[in-house]
Structure 1
Amino acid sequence: MTFHSAANVIVLDFETTGLSPTQGDRAIEIGAVKIESGQITDTFSRLMNPGFRVSSFIENYTGISNHMLLGEDECAAVMDEFADFIGDMPLVAHNASFDKRFLDAELDAIQRTYPGIFACSMLIARRLYPNAPNHKLGSLIDYKNIAHDGVFHRALADSEMTAKLWLSMLEDLNLTYQIENPSFKLMQRLARTPKKDISRFLSSQLPA
């Protein structure tokens, strides 16, 4: 079995025209951060033209206007580049089920696939930080006292914040549970472990 370190991941975030690709919604921005050996080493950030006008609600929510999307490459071209960027690295997103739906839909549309596996930073944060006010990205950034510039709901800014949160979680696993180099599989299992079993589960991961 291949060992994927949780310190080597792609953290991604989409801004979209709506909530569901099955209802015709499309991606309008992709932002991603590459983490290697626990350090941010590269980023990817592109707007993309979905082929139709974006609603005023989405313009206000994301700050991405129809004027900004004029002249941008269509989704197919941007997603083809992004598939090359992520390669076969494991993937992380905050509320990953949302981003995975759009990644799958946009890559399916251009007959591209990715072998990477997903973990959800929001589900993991719920296990590690049960006392946080809530587990929205902005709230967790404040809860962990992670520096930020106040920009949210833009893809690169959100992926950068999620990357910092991910690295903070890895640090806390080391400090609290002496888990120095968790595997990506461990992080996936952590996200699925009932909250009442977290301490027992993490204690069982310590080396003999």
Structure 2
Amino acid sequence: MHIIIIDFETTGLSPQHGARPTEVAAVRIKNGQITDHYQSLMNAGVSIPAFIENLTGINNTMIRTAPPVHQVMHELAEFIGDTPLVAHNAVFDSKFLDIELAHIGLQRRQEMLCSLLLARRCYPHAPTHKLTDLIKYIGLPSDGHAHRALADVQMTARLWLHMLAHLCCTYHLSHVPLPLLAQIQRIPVHSLTRFMSHYCKGA
């Protein structure tokens, strides 16, 4: 399986209300291993609110000397190509990715799966499904600064690989194809066992 996990840090929650990205990171996973990564701060010409600075540690001084957003997005587009994408809360990251690509005349061609939705089905009894809370709940290593893009994609990569192993072990699968993962993240949590039973009988 070849996927890329992606994460944006931004000036706010919604690009429709003027928020812009301040940082992006992506890691490439091939055959269960991280093989490459891309990370960069970026300057979109938008001031970072104080509460975002406190959350991410990214401040306006850092952004002032960062490369312009269009340069970073061109580099990111080259890095991800048409490889399937994963993000933790993909609804958030896909909005920023799609709008920033549109600003430079490009369009996302691939599907983006959501590790948050998949985690809700793999670990329905977790107290929360926030990334850092899941990492603690499962007992995976955590390094770096949460809400910095590279640290977040590295944690998401560990979570993703753990969920694949969990599904393989639970349902006696040799591997979990991406189309199956796309189905799993959409079905109701209470229907997962029945769905997987039918899938395994037909596999």
TM-score normalised over the length of structure 1: 0.94
**Contact 2:42–2:69 (CA under 8 A) maintained in structure 1:** yes
The aligned residue for residue 25 of structure 1 is 19
Equivalent of 1:126, from 113, 120, 125?
Answer: 120
The aligned residue for residue 94 of structure 2 is 100
**Contact 1:179–1:205 (CA under 8 A) maintained in structure 2:** no
CA distance in 2, matches of 1:97, 1:159: 16
The aligned residue for residue 131 of structure 2 is 137
- Partner of 1:82, secondary structure, is helix
Moved over 4 A (4+): none
Listed as ranges, the gaps of 5+ residues in structure 1 are: 1-6
Identical-pair percentage: 49
**Contact 1:14–1:99 (CA under 8 A) maintained in structure 2:** yes
Q: In the alignment, residue 35 of structure 2 is paired with which amino acid?
A: T
The aligned residue for residue 165 of structure 1 is 159
How big is the shift at 1:37?
1.1
1:55-70 equivalences under 5 Å are 55-70=49-64
- Partner of 1:89, secondary structure, is coil
Q: In the alignment, residue 25 of structure 1 is paired with which amino acid?
A: A
**Contact 1:32–1:156 (CA under 8 A) maintained in structure 2:** yes
How big is the shift at 1:203?
1.9
TM-score normalised over the length of structure 2: 0.96
- Partner of 1:81, secondary structure, is helix
Listed as ranges, the gaps of 5+ residues in structure 2 are: none
Q: Deviations over 1:152-206 (max 9, x none)?
A: 0000100110011000000011111112221111111101111111001112222
CA distance in 1, matches of 2:174, 2:115: 18
How big is the shift at 1:143?
1.1
1:43 and 2:42 are equivalent in the alignment: no
How big is the shift at 1:144?
1.0
The aligned residue for residue 11 of structure 1 is 5
CA distance in 1, matches of 2:21, 2:15: 9
**Contact 2:20–2:46 (CA under 8 A) maintained in structure 1:** no
Larger RCO: 1 or 2 (CA < 8 Å, sep 6+):
1
**Contact 1:173–1:180 (CA under 8 A) maintained in structure 2:** no
1:194 and 2:188 are equivalent in the alignment: yes
CA distance in 1, matches of 2:145, 2:69: 24
CA distance in 2, matches of 1:193, 1:143: 23
CA distance in 1, matches of 2:46, 2:21: 11
Kindly report the root-mean-square deviation, in angstroms, between the aligned alpha carbons of the 2 structures.
1.1
**Contact 2:144–2:151 (CA under 8 A) maintained in structure 1:** no
